[in-house]
A and B are shown apart, each in its own frame.
Chain A
Amino acid sequence: MAYIDLPEGLPGIRGPMAFRPQTAKPLNLLAEVLLRDDNALTRGERELIGTYVSYLNDCFFCQNAHSGLTQHYLQCDTDSIDAIVHDPESSDLSPKMKALLAIAAAVQKGGKHVRADHVERARKEGATDVEIHDTVLIAAAFCMFNRYVDGLGTWAPSDRMFYVKRAPARAIEGYANYDPNH
């Protein structure tokens, strides 16, 4: 049971968002801009950054919700995403994505953990200022979302396929008009 009286039956972030829609609105508009709007980084790549940071923060709900979406966009399965987040450097990702995930991992520890050599590596692999900016902000935003979800003691379905099955509908719905009630 969550630490506050949230609307029944809504897992993860959905309960808090339904509890306080006024703050949910800018949170969702931010997610829409960062994760869905046209960008050099694909939607799959951006959802992967969110998944990775949520994994590092050990947030079950967020990690699985966004892994589901990443799988949908990248057309791969749970095992593939698990392998990537456990060891991005050994994965088949592009050198640019590996460099950006290294930045995301540094942000997860703390802003000052991002060093000039992290940024240089990303630039060398072709990352633009906007891509570096968005990687840092996506990573920072997931550090917020993960804390919101876990800090209020919300519940999460333990069946990982729940999130994978929901992902296609969520990918269409997006974040801007997200209704946490369904």
Chain B
Amino acid sequence: MAHIKVPEGVPGIRSLAMFRPDSGKHLYDLVQILLRGQSPLSPAERELIASHVSAGNGCRFCMSSHAAAARELYGEKSQIVDCVIRGEDTPLLSEKMKALLVIAGKVRENGKKVKPEDIEAARNAGAGDRDIHDTVLIAATFSMFNRYVDGLATLTPDDDTAYAEMGKRIATKGYVPPQAQGT
């Protein structure tokens, strides 16, 4: 049961956006721009970073929903997602993405863990300023979402099909705030 009175049966961040739409709106806007707005990283790559960070933070809701979105977006290459969340190597992952995932993992722990060598490795693999900026901000943002969703003990579905549906919706429609509680 959640630590506060959120709508029954509504999972994760949706329940919180319904409880407090004033902040929920901006959280959804942020993630829509961050994961779907213009970027040198594809939406699939950005969902992958989000899944990786959420897996590292042990947030099942965020990891599962964004992994599902990433699988939809990667299509035939979807096994890349399972390799990354399990921490396994895969030839499907570009050197650039490998280096960016290292940066994301360090940001997840604390921003100061990112070192010049990590940035250099990413640049040597072809990452530019926007790749690095977006990676850091996605990792930082999901460090927030994971804490928000688990910090209030929101409903985390046990059933993988629930996440597969969320993944399809996110992959096709993006991030749309739910209706406020009571409306």
A residues lining the B interface (CB < 8 Å): 3-5, 16, 19-20, 22-23, 25-27, 29-30, 33-34, 37, 57-59, 103, 106-108, 110-112, 114, 116, 119, 129-130, 132-134, 136-137, 139-141, 143-153
Contacts and interface: CB of A to CB of B under 8 A. Distances in A.
Nearest to B26: A30
A111 B4 contact: no
Contacts of A37: 22
Interface of B: 3-5, 16, 19-20, 22-23, 26-27, 29-30, 33-34, 37-38, 57-59, 103, 106-108, 110-112, 114, 116, 119, 129-130, 132-133, 136-137, 139-141, 143-153
A35 B151 CA distance: 19
A57 B110 contact: yes
A25 B106 CA distance: 25
The 5 closest A-B pairs by CB, nearest first: A111-B150, A150-B111, A144-B144, A151-B111, A147-B140
B11 to A, nearest CB: 14
Contacts of B5: 129
B43 to A, nearest CB: 15
Nearest to A152: B136
